[in-house]
Amino acid sequence: MKKLLALVPLALLLTACGTATVEELIEDPDKLAKVNEKCSTLMMQGKNTDTEECNNAREAINQMTSNMLKGFLGK
């Protein structure tokens, strides 16, 4: 029982430190830059970048680019 009670705070801590959402990355460009750099490094090392974190960063960049283009084109 004591082991279970010791694991509960750890599980809650890990849940709180989950992967940043697309919206969080759009709102925090510094965090987006760090995640993008991490994913770029993984890619250069030939490692898997098909992770939730990297996918969210790609989607955030796509959305930001789309929003910028809409602003330039006045749509």
Residue 40 lies in domain: 19-73
In-domain check, residue 12 = no
In-domain check, residue 53 = yes
Q: Are 53 and 28 in contact (CB under 8 A)?
A: no
59-65 mean pLDDT: 97
The overall average pLDDT reported for the chain is 85
Please give the C-alpha separations between residue 18 and each of 2, 52, 74, in angstroms, as whole numbers. Answer: 26, 10, 36
pTM, two decimal places: 0.72
In-domain check, residue 66 = yes
Local confidence band at 3 (pLDDT 50, 70, 90 cut-offs): low
Task: Using the structure block, give the residue that is written with the tokens 């991490």.
Answer: 38
In-domain check, residue 39 = yes
In-domain check, residue 5 = no
**Number of domains into which the chain is organized:** 1
Residue 25 has pLDDT above 70, yes or no: yes
